[in-house]
Every structure is written in structure tokens, then in C-alpha cells.
Chains A and B, each alone.
Chain A
Amino acid sequence: MNLLELKNVSKIYGEVKALQNIELSVAQGEWLAIMGPSGSGKTTMMNIIGCMDKPTHGRVILDGTDISKENAKALTSVRRDKIGLIFQQFHLINYLTALENVMAAQYYHSMQDEKEALEALARVGLARRAKHLPSQLSGGEQQRVCIARALINYPMLILADEPTGNLDETNEKIVLDIFKALHKEGSTIVVVTHDPEVAENTQRTVILEHGKIAKINVNKKINGGNKI
């Protein structure tokens, strides 16, 4: 069953065609990578899937609902209830502790639960750093707080933008291990990356060029990789 479907999606900024007639389906529990050179439309696609932008043409169906024509308020609700966002720049609120950053997402979703937020941090190996401010954490640790924040509301879809882009090798491995574990648990993950090592771990890799899908690679090494 498909969790996400992009049907003939295009995004045009004035003269620039950022995305052209994209057709893509993401199955529930699938781990998909989106790759491509700069300017190929990765970020635009990420924004449209993440309900932070709307397509100029085409339909985006998430969990059976067409979200392409929804207004900003409805898209905020979809984002809050169904999507967990992970950013390359982490985007933590720097005057809140790691724990509070996770709880901020809880606060806008439903109710704050400190115990649950601590468990989310424990899951990414940061239970002991819960009371630290972002400035007191390493880049890898900040990314793990960002992952914990994305996971706290049990999203249907985890959307990660270059999650290892700012990390060293050790932290990249830690983050990848977390993604692997999430995938094993059945999470649906879409990751935008430049990093072939990250893409190697996904089931499929979509290659974008000039706003179009140039190629889709199926990783046969990964269990279930034959699903398209």
C-alpha cells in the first residue's frame, strides 16, 4: 500500500521549472533516497512532500488524502500529525535544552510528556544529555536531538534533508544506524542526500536531474528492495 503518491507534480517559479511532471509512489515502510546535483529539484520535492510548499500542477496524495490544494493551516495540521522533519542544519531552538526541543514538538502536537520525550532521547542515545543546550552538544548530538524531535509524535513519514551532511564519519554512522533501526521497525523514510553511502542503505534511490526523475535505482542488497 502506498503511503505517498506524487502524480504529475510540477513546480514552477517564474521562468524556472524546479520540478516537471514527477510521478512517484512511496510504499508504507519503504526507505527511499532522493539524489541529484544541486539545482535538480531535491529541496523543492522535499518541501512539497513535507507540506511546506504546494505544487503548481499535479496532485500529492499522503495517506489517501490529496494535500495539493490544502491551505496553509491544513498543511500545518498534516505536517504536525503525519510528518517528522529532520534537517541538515538541525534547526534546534538554542535557548531550549535538548529535552525541551523534543517537548516543543509534543506541545504543538498534543500534550507534553517529559517521560516520553526522555525515552525518545534515550532511543538516539542522548538520555544523559537531555538537560544540555544545543550549544553544549556536538553536531552529531544535535542531529540526534533533531531525530528524536521528528520521532516524538510517531509520524507516518520521516522526511530527512541531508541528515548526515554536516556530520563526521563517526556521527554519520550513528545517525545511519538510527535510520536502519527505524526502517526495521517499519517506519517510512524519505531521505534527500548527496551521500552515496546513505543511499546504499535505502531500498530505492530516485535520481533527479533538471527537475525530472532521470533514474530510479533499486537496491537489491536490501531486504524488500524489489518493491517499487
Chain B
Amino acid sequence: MFFRMVKGALFRQKGKMLMIAFTVALGVSLAVAMLNVMFDAGDKVNRELKTYGANINVIPKGASLLNDIYGLGEGAGISDKYLNESELGNIKTIFWAFNIVDFTPYLEMSAKLNGKTQVKISGTWFRHHLELPTGESLDTGMIAMKKWWKIQGEWLSDDDENYLMIETNAAAKNNISLGDNVKIFYGAKAYDFVVKGIFDSGSDEDAQVYLPLKKVQEITGKKGLVSRAEVSALTTPDNELSKRAAQNPNSLSIKEWETWYCTSYVSAVCYQIDEVITDSVSKPIRRVAQSEGAILEKTELLMLLITILSLAGAALGISNLVTASVMERSAEIGLLKAVGAYDIHISLLVITEIVIAGMIGAFAGYFAGIGFAQIIGHSVFGSAINIKPAVIPLVVFLVFAVIAAGSVPAVRFLLALRPAEVLHGR
């Protein structure tokens, strides 16, 4: 009889039940979309931000000490300490290997351009193919790391031994154009190059001229060595734990240490890089890492607020609809009380009806939400959003919470309803 009554009420009040289902569907679709985007946005926003450069600088231990003592800028090229180029592939073998987006080494030298102006020259990878010890392979380098650079002409390739790239201001100052022949004087020797690209980095880059790493190693006689490396990694915004760990990982308890090590905090990634590269010190480029964290936190907060507001709106909508429905059915509810139904029976009947309508709405809303999430993914990030199964139990819980909150006024109304008032008008 209970289910006959539920079924009867559902079909008899099709319009109202559809409105309840629609309200829940609307709230759930927004919640599902926002929660999925929120859970996936970390990676998405991180990747988006990674197109604006590296967030970790790896330098040799001795050079780091000089920086710490004398406050010299990182990568100033004054140190005689070097990292081994052959170890750089290990960066992709750390615990958070999948979070390493790109990395590139630099070997810096100071030389005279056309025998006149002193310029800083960096040798680097442009698109370097690496075979990793894990059996995987990888292409990494400047082209991937400096996507926002405006290039006149072309990027160099790693095999362009007789070509260089020059910074736009340095080119203008030295009256150099694309395709010009230039001479680089290092020590007693002069080397001939053709300008293949003129770049505008949008900021004051340290190096004014870029060459393939191999060429600079050959000129300086430092085969297999690099002075530093830049790493672009997907990281989690810092919190109290990561800040403490960054100062001194040994101050953490074992449990804290495990949590920190197994979370992609920038300090944890740095620590793991130092574990795989001999005598290296990795340091977060704080300005970038902190901005990324702040943007990510704000984006997540915004989406969380939208989720809460959409569900609160749904609860209000349900509350109005259910209260109106119960008021319309006051004679029926009064009759059920008159023939012996307790308040709990009637509350259960009404809530079951709302839950069924709500679950139908939630089911439809879930799939609509996945659709919305994909629309957001493609229009904002240009890629699909990964659907997180963890959202399902969360949404089920939220639907019940919303229905429960929305049903409170209706249940209070029906508890207060006296059969004499609705059946006999007193």
C-alpha cells in the first residue's frame, strides 16, 4: 500500500514532481560540473600556468652556497661548479615523475659579439630526445618551456651547430638582422654563426644569445657539464606542512614526512630532484610557485562557492515546491491522520516521494553535469575534463542533504497539521 500511495502521488502530481526533479537536476548538474572541474582544474590550471615557464631551478651545491652567502642571482654564471648532463634524465624518475612537465639545462658563458659587445651566451636543449632509464622516452627543452616567446625566424634545433638565436634588444643594439653572419669571440678564438631566430621573451632574459648546449660545451671545453637546469613541474599549493618542510624536512615527524613526500608540493619535488642529481640544490622559483598556488586556490574556491550556491538554490526551490505540494494535499494528509497514520508514516510517505523525484533529477543532472564539465573543459582549457568517480558518492550525499534541507518546512507543516482543521474546517 505504501508504494501504491507513493506511486499514485508521483503520477498524480506529475507537474510538481517533474519540477522537483528539474530543480534537483539543475542543482546537481552545476554541482557535478563544478566538482569535476574543481578536482581536475588543479592539473589543468597548473598545465596552463606551466606554459609561462619553469618553477624550479636546479643548481650545483657550491653555486648555491655562493648565492646564499653573497646573494648573487641564480644562474649568474660565475660559479665553477657544474651538474652532469647525463644525470638530467633522472628528473623523470622521481616519485612525482608524471608531474614533471619539461626541463632544460643551461651552460653559460660570457663572450664578445662581433668583437665589440660583451654578451651572455647560454647553451641549452631546444628539443632534446631522451631515453630514460625506465625505458620511456621524452622530448624536452626550450621550445616546450618558453612557449610564450615571440620568435622572428625559427627556433634552433639541437643540431644547429652554426646557428644562434639572439634577443631582440641585443640584435637591435648590434644592428643584427635575421640571416646575418656574426662572430662570437671566446678566449683567443672566434666562431662564425648565422642568426636563425630573433626572440622577444617579454622580460629581461639573462642570456642575450642562445646556442645549442653541445656547441657551448665544445667552445668552453666543458663536455657533459651544465651550470644549471630549469624544471617545470605540476605542484600543489603550499600549506603549513610544506612550508615547514621547505625550511627543514628533518623537523617533520615520520608521518608528516610521508605525507609531505607523497604530495606534490614544490618543496617535495625539489627534494626528490636533489635525491637523483649528484651535488645539486633545487630551489623553487617562489614568485611563480606562489602565484600558481594563489590562482589555483582562488579558482577552486570560486567553483566551491558556485557548487554551494547552486545546491542552496536547489534546496530553496525544493522547499517551495514541496511545501506547496503538501499544502495542496492537506485534506489527504488530514484524512490519513484521521484513519490512523502517525506523523512518521506521513513524513516517510512525503519524503519518499521527494527522494524518488530527486533521484530521477539527480540521475539526469549527473549526466547533464558531465556534459557541462566537458563544455567548460573544452572552452576554458581546450581539453576534456577527467570525470572523477569520487564525485558520485559526494553528489548522492549532497542530493540527500539538499532534499532533507528542502523538506524541513514541508515536514514541519504536516506535523502541525490537525485533521479536524482540514476535514471539518476547524
Contacts and interface: CB of A to CB of B under 8 A. Distances in A.
Interface in B282-305: none
Interface of A: 43-44, 46-47, 50, 52-53, 73, 76-77, 79-81, 85, 87, 89, 91, 93-96, 100, 103-109, 112, 149, 161
B5 A53 contact: no
A80 B4 CA distance: 20
Contacts of A53: 418, 420, 426
B18 to A, nearest CB: 16
A76 B341 CA distance: 7
Interface of B: 1-2, 4-5, 8-9, 11-12, 331-332, 334-343, 345, 418-420, 423-426
B418 A52 contact: yes
A118 to B, nearest CB: 15
Given A50-B420, A79-B338, A108-B341, 15 more contacts: A43-B424, A47-B426, A52-B420, A53-B418, A76-B337, A87-B423, A91-B338, A93-B8, A93-B335, A93-B336, A95-B11, A96-B5, A104-B336, A104-B339, A109-B340
A30 B87 CA distance: 106
A150 to B, nearest CB: 9
A76 to B, nearest CB: 6
Contacts of A79: 338-340
A61 to B, nearest CB: 20
Nearest to B8: A95
A154 to B, nearest CB: 13
B426 A103 contact: no
A11 to B, nearest CB: 10
Contacts of A89: 331, 423
B423 A104 contact: no
A47 B4 contact: no
A113 B420 CA distance: 28
A93 B343 CA distance: 18
Contacts of A112: 1
Contacts, number: 80
Contacts of B2: 107
9 contacts: A47-B426, A77-B340, A89-B331, A93-B335, A95-B11, A95-B12, A104-B336, A108-B345, A109-B340
A188 B239 CA distance: 78
Contacts of B423: 52, 87, 89, 91
A76 B337 CA distance: 7
Contacts of B345: 108
B419 A104 contact: no
B331 A47 contact: no
Given A47-B420, A93-B335, A100-B1, A108 B340 contact: yes
Contacts of A104: 1, 5, 336, 339
A96 B4 contact: yes
Contact of A107 (B1, B338, B426): B1
Given A100-B1, A109-B340, A95 B9 contact: yes
Contacts of B332: 91, 93
B424 A52 contact: yes
B346 to A, nearest CB: 10
Contacts of A50: 338, 420
A58 to B, nearest CB: 17
Contacts of A105: 339-340
B424 A161 contact: yes
Contacts of B5: 93, 96, 104
B181 to A, nearest CB: 92
A77 B423 CA distance: 18
A53 B5 CA distance: 27
B424 A103 contact: no
A80 B420 contact: no
B414 to A, nearest CB: 13
Contacts of A73: 342-343
B277 to A, nearest CB: 75
Indicate the member of A44, A108, A112 with the most B CB atoms within 10 Å. Answer: A108
A185 to B, nearest CB: 22
B339 A85 contact: yes
A40 B371 CA distance: 65
B342 A103 contact: no
Indicate the member of B4, B8, B419, B425 with the most A CB atoms within 10 Å. Answer: B419
Given A47-B426, A95-B8, A108-B340, A52 B419 contact: yes
B419 A103 contact: no
Contact of A80 (B8, B331, B339): B339
